[in-house]
Amino acid sequence: MHYDVVIVGAGPAGSITAKYAAQGGASVIMLEKRQEIGSPVRCGEGIAREWIDEVGIKLDRKWIAHEVEGAKVVSPNGNSFCINERIAGDEVGTVIERDLFDRALVEDAVRAGADVMVKTAVTGLIKDGGVKGVVADSPRGRLEISAGAVVGADGFESQVGCWGGIDTRLKPRDVTTCLQYRMTNIRPDPDYCEFILGSGAPGGYVWVFPKSEESANVGMGMQLWKLKKKGELRYWLDKYIEKDERLKGGKIIEIVSGAVSTCAPIDKTVSDGLLLVGDAARMVDPITGGGIANACKAGRIAGEVLAEAAQAMDFSEEMLTKYEKGWRKRLEEALFRNWMAKEKLVTLSDETFDKIIEVLARENLDHLSVLNILKVIQRELPELVEEFMDLI
CA distance 269 to 225: 26
Farthest-apart Cα atoms in the chain, separation? 64
> Residues near 178 by Cβ (< 8 Å), separated by ≥ 6?
44, 219, 220, 221, 222, 233, 256, 257, 258, 259, 260, 289
Give the DSSP letter string of 78-101: S-EEEEEGGGS-TT-SEEE-HHHH
> Rounded to the nearest whole angstrom, what is the least distance from the CB of residue 186 to another protein in the complex?
21
Residue positions counted in the chain: 392
CA distance 288 to 103: 24
CA distance 264 to 132: 29
> Rounded to the nearest whole angstrom, what is the least distance from the CB of residue 180 to another protein in the complex?
9
CA distance 131 to 120: 19
> Rounded to the nearest whole angstrom, what is the least distance from the CB of residue 162 to another protein in the complex?
4
Comparing CB distances to another protein, the nearer of 226 and 355 is: 226
Nearest Cα to 261, choosing from 219, 299, 297, 294? Answer: 294
Comparing CB distances to another protein, the nearer of 18 and 227 is: 227
Is-contact 285 336, C-beta < 8 A?
A: no
What is the binding site for another protein (CB under 8 A)? Answer: 33-35, 40, 42, 119, 121, 123, 137, 155-159, 162-163, 169-170, 172, 175, 177-179, 224, 227-234, 255-259, 261
Comparing CB distances to another protein, the nearer of 159 and 184 is: 159
CA distance 9 to 157: 11
> Rounded to the nearest whole angstrom, what is the least distance from the CB of residue 317 to another protein in the complex?
21
Comparing CB distances to another protein, the nearer of 233 and 368 is: 233
> Rounded to the nearest whole angstrom, what is the least distance from the CB of residue 284 to another protein in the complex?
11
CA distance 346 to 227: 13
> Rounded to the nearest whole angstrom, what is the least distance from the CB of residue 8 to another protein in the complex?
13
Comparing CB distances to another protein, the nearer of 144 and 366 is: 144
Nearest Cα to 105, choosing from 148, 62, 65? Answer: 62
Nearest Cα to 99, choosing from 39, 59, 156? Answer: 39
C-beta neighbour count of 175 within 10 angstroms: 18
> Rounded to the nearest whole angstrom, what is the least distance from the CB of residue 254 to another protein in the complex?
11
Comparing CB distances to another protein, the nearer of 84 and 159 is: 159
Comparing CB distances to another protein, the nearer of 148 and 204 is: 204
Comparing CB distances to another protein, the nearer of 121 and 340 is: 121
> Rounded to the nearest whole angstrom, what is the least distance from the CB of residue 90 to another protein in the complex?
21
Comparing CB distances to another protein, the nearer of 252 and 361 is: 252
> Rounded to the nearest whole angstrom, what is the least distance from the CB of residue 100 to another protein in the complex?
20
CA distance 236 to 242: 10
CA distance 359 to 379: 10
Q: Sort residue 295 into left (φ over 0), alpha (ψ -120 to 50) or beta.
A: alpha
> Rounded to the nearest whole angstrom, what is the least distance from the CB of residue 42 to another protein in the complex?
6
Comparing CB distances to another protein, the nearer of 40 and 190 is: 40
